[in-house]
Amino acid sequence: MTTHPLPAVLFGAFDRHNFGDLLFPHVAARLLAARGDRAVQMAGLAARDLRAQGGHRVTPLVQLRDAAFDLIHVGGEILSCDAWDAAVMLQSPADAQRIIASQRHARLEWAQRVLGMRDLAPYVASKRTVPGAAHVAFHAVGGVELDERPGALRDEVLARLASADAVSVRDVHTQRLLAKSGVEARLAPDNALLVAELFGDTIREHAAHGAVARIREAAPRGYLAVQFNATFGDDATLARIAAQLDHVADAHDLAVVFFRAGAAPWHDDLSCLQRTAARMRAPRVQMLGSLNIWDICALIAGSRAYLGSSLHGRIIAMAYALPRVNLLHDQDFARPCKQLAFAETWEDAIPSGAFNATHAPAAVRVGEIADGIDAALSVPSARLTRLAARLATLCRDAFQTVVPVTG
């Protein structure tokens, strides 16, 4: 008798525009397809169609009525994402500002009404909350701030992880937090590290045509790919960033190309990047207007180096064996943050300072941008290439371990 694998439901925050979240289901679906014929469906918290940006058509998880399926959480910093944050990030930027201003009280109640569920951590599901789930897996998820969340949310997350069939996390910090509470989780690199290997043809196609091709033609000596979120948006900080980037452009004869890694609320603000560009003196400053994730991948892949606040800007640079430095605030070095947790788990990197020819900083403060890029560009390319190949292998192996083959 021939058995057929259960349908797979890939669940995550790919119902809003954030670079990494939109990449996860592509990678997971491709890895599942390599095992054979298996139905795959994308689920989030809201019905969305992000195919125009390179994403997927997404169905709300609460609407799935299949008799049995494998439920696979496919990455992201989902363990510490509460209902309020999730609901706001599903709004348009204009609506989000209005909602944040008006919902000063009863935020949880508003969020639960919007999401149609009473979960405190809505991107963390279980067999109890999703009756059709025959097998529940968490793959390469993160939650570095889980200890800082309210006790009721932590308890909900830990109980659902404890009842799961398989759990892997993408950084040692999250692994240790869970272990303290009795939840054993494997370590697995973020699946976006497989983007270069699995989607290289798509990315090369986007590099050869359209906006990215024009940027590359206008920067024959190479460019620095730069992105940062709206928390850096005050005038004084933007002026300091502009001065640092001018120094990098002059020292390394590079163009500077700005891009957004996320357009959902609390992500990147185009006006911040434009205001920074307007303050720069460097002769070759450009802006990638496209929000298509394959254009973003192509831009990073074709760069000399990446600088930014996005973890997945860093991860795509890692996949392409390129120099990379995250840009963080002072307070990010004093508390857990996902960028440092990931880099310190998988890279031979130091948090900040003490730049030299053998170590690039994992991240820098605004005033350290020029020195950080100098250090990153000095790391031997062979070392970056070896690390990219090793992590791609680890990604494949970890996915096979956590995600089931069912019949």
What mean pLDDT value characterizes the chain? Answer: 92
Cβ–Cβ under 8 Å, residues 31 and 94: no
In CATH terms, 194-390 corresponds, of 3.30.56.10, 3.40.50.12780, 3.40.50.2000, 3.30.590.10, to 3.40.50.2000
Give 83-116 as a DSSP string: HHHHHHHTS-HHHHHHHHHH-SS-HHHHHHHHHT
Sequence letter at residue 350: I
Distance CA 302, CA 315 (A): 14
Residue 403 confidence (pLDDT) above 70: yes
3-41 per-position pLDDT tens digit: 568 899 999 999 999 999 999 999 999 999 988 768 999
- CA 81 to each of CA 18, 144, 242, 246, 311: distance values in angstroms, whole numbers, following the listed order: 14, 11, 32, 36, 16
Ranges of each domain in the chain: 8-188, 194-390
Angle at 385 between CA 293 and CA 73, to 5 degrees: 45
In the chain, the amino acid numbered 359 is: H
Supply the pLDDT for residue 348: 67
pTM: 0.94
According to DSSP, the residues that pair with 257 across neighbouring strands are 225, 286
9-13, 50-54, 66-70: which range is least confident on average?
Answer: 66-70
Q: Is the pLDDT of residue 248 over 70?
A: yes
Q: What angle do CA 208, 214, 220 make, to 5 degrees?
A: 95
Using the predicted structure, report yes or no on whether residue 391 has a pLDDT greater than 90: yes
- In sequence order, the 6+-apart residues with CB closer than 8 A to the CB of 224 are 245, 248, 249, 252, 254, 255, 256, 257, 303, 304, 305, 306, 307, 373
Within 10 angstroms of residue 117's Cβ, the number of other Cβ atoms is 17
pLDDT at 360: 82
How far apart CA 19 and CA 264 sit, in angstroms, is: 10
Q: What is the pLDDT of residue 1?
A: 40
Region for 64 from its dihedrals, namely left if φ exceeds 0, alpha if ψ lies in -120 to 50, beta otherwise? beta
Helix pair angle (381-402, 19-33), 10° resolution:
60
